């Protein structure tokens, strides 16, 4: 009888701990200009602005994350969400003072419970990153934080790992179509020989 009672109590305790961890949530300030964070978003070559100057307020910033440690190079303007990365449900307009920075809300990471997490900041001038209305976009290199706030602990910032990055022009879809047709034509010519 005592064994059954102890087993039942341990089972209930284990169930409660699983429910608690299933509802865990992490958070971090979505800001690129803070006490130790300085990650300005700049115009790159081929865009509407002078190379190296801060983007204007027509840009929106978003956030990608990877639970754990990952490597990600800065974007080329044609990148999509990498495999294994997730899109955080937070966006914020780029501000004008100081120009080229994000001063957004707290980013809640619903599936975070503990451990390292890698982020990449995105910027785009359309309705979404990679949308047909976007003419310039880019993302930062990935940067890993050892942990982020959970529970009642104070919300932290990205820190010095977040680096400045540039937005680049998004090629017209017709360029991709023409490239594909050219490659197909070359393959056909090669087969005839």
pTM of the model: 0.78
Reduced to 3 states (helix: H, G, I; strand: E, B; else coil), residue 55 is coil
Distance in angstroms (rounded) separating the CA atoms of residues 84 and 70: 9
Looking at residue 33, its pLDDT comes to: 95
Residue 7 lies in a domain: no
Cβ atoms of 130 and 80 within 8 Å: the answer is: yes
Does residue 4 form part of some domain? no
Is 76 strand, coil or helix? coil
Closest by Cα among 48, 64, 83, 55 to 122:
64
- The answer to the question of residue 3 being in a domain is no
Give domain status of residue 6, yes or no.
Answer: no
Within a domain: 10: no
Q: Which domain holds residue 72?
A: 25-188
- What is the domain count for the chain? 1
- Asked whether residue 20 is assigned to any structural domain, the reply reads no
Q: Is residue 137 part of a domain?
A: yes
Q: What is the pLDDT of residue 159?
A: 95
For residue 146, tell me if it sits in a domain.
yes
Task: List the chain pLDDT tens, one digit each, 193 residues.
Answer: 555 544 445 455 444 444 444 456 999 999 999 999 999 999 999 998 999 999 999 999 999 999 999 999 999 999 999 999 999 999 999 999 999 999 999 999 999 999 999 999 999 999 999 999 999 999 999 999 999 999 999 999 999 999 999 999 998 764 444 445 555 666 666 666 5
pLDDT for residue 106: 96
């Amino acid at each position: 009888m005592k064994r059954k009672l102890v087993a039942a109590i341990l089972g209930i305790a284990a169930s409660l701990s699983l429910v608690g961890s299933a509802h865990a949530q992490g958070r971090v300030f979505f800001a690129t200009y803070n006490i130790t964070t300085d990650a300005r978003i700049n115009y790159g070559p081929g865009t509407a602005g002078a190379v190296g100057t801060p983007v204007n307020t027509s840009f929106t910033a978003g956030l990608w994350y990877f639970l754990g440690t990952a490597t990600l190079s800065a974007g080329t303007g044609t990148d999509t969400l990498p495999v294994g990365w997730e899109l955080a449900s937070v966006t914020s307009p780029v501000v004008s003072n100081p120009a080229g920075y994000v001063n957004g809300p707290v980013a809640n990471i619903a599936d975070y419970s503990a451990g390292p997490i890698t982020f990449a900041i995105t910027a785009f001038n359309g309705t979404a990153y990679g949308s047909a209305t976007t003419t310039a976009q880019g993302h930062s290199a990935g940067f890993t934080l050892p942990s982020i706030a959970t529970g009642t602990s104070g919300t932290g910032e990205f820190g010095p790992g977040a680096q400045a990055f540039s937005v680049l022009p998004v090629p017209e879809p017709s360029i991709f179509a023409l490239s594909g047709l050219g490659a197909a034509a070359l393959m056909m010519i090669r087969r005839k020989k």
